[in-house]
């Protein structure tokens, strides 16, 4: 039985604004509740501000999944991954989107608006939302992600 995602938090900087607005429409058309943390325009802004809001919301259990968009998805994923419990995957293919969920139990998807067409972004988002974590040996590995030992 497929576990349906009901709640998604979204965020972007200026580079991701246009895609992010379209993503909100896409998610709502699927009956998914969206909490959007901005940006609210394509005016130049700083991606960590939005990554921290979305990642904090996911870490607190207030949204099942986060979707972040910047120019590359890189800065967003780096910032989001500073939050314990957040596993943000910067993805450029549908295969990686599926694997991020199935093997890594990724709870944040970070994509780059400058690296993919809108059609590819839709495919990636749909793959990410429909794939399910496989558990088993992957759960053991995911548990070790938070196991940071200081040298």
What is the contact surface with ligand RB5 in residues (CB under 6 A)?
A: 13, 15, 47, 70-72, 74-75
Shortest distance, position 17 Cβ to ligand RB5, whole Å: 10
Q: How far is residue 94 from each of residues 24, 121, 124, measured CA to CA in Å?
A: 19, 9, 5
Shortest distance, position 144 Cβ to ligand RB5, whole Å: 27
The residue (of 9 and 68) whose beta carbon lies closer to ligand RB5 is 68
Shortest distance, position 74 Cβ to ligand RB5, whole Å: 4
Catalytic residue, chosen from 52, 70, 83, 138, is 70
The residue (of 20 and 101) whose beta carbon lies closer to ligand RB5 is 20
For the question of residue 103 being annotated catalytic, the response is: yes
The residue (of 13 and 105) whose beta carbon lies closer to ligand RB5 is 13
Q: What angle do CA 80, 19, 46 make, to 5 degrees?
A: 45
For 79-119, what is the HEC assignment?
HHCCCCCCCEEECCCHHHHHHHHHCCCCCEEEEECCCCCHH
Please say whether the beta carbons of 108 and 146 come within 8 A.
no
Instruction: Give the residue numbers annotated as catalytic, written as ranges.
Output: 70, 103
């Amino acid at each position: 039985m497929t576990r349906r995602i009901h709640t998604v938090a979204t965020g972007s900087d200026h580079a991701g604004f246009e895609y992010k607005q379209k993503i909100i429409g896409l998610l709502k058309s699927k009956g998914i509740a969206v909490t959007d943390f901005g940006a609210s325009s394509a005016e130049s802004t700083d991606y960590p501000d939005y990554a921290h809001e979305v990642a904090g919301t996911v870490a607190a259990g207030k949204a099942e999944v986060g979707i972040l968009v910047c120019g590359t998805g890189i800065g967003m994923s780096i910032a989001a991954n500073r939050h314990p419990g957040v596993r943000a995957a910067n993805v450029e293919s549908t295969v990686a989107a599926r694997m991020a969920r199935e093997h890594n139990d990724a709870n944040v998807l970070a994509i780059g608006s400058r690296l993919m067409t809108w059609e590819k972004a839709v495919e990636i988002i749909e793959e990410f939302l429909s794939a399910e974590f496989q558990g088993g040996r992957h759960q053991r590995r995911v548990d070790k992600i938070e196991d940071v030992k200081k040298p």
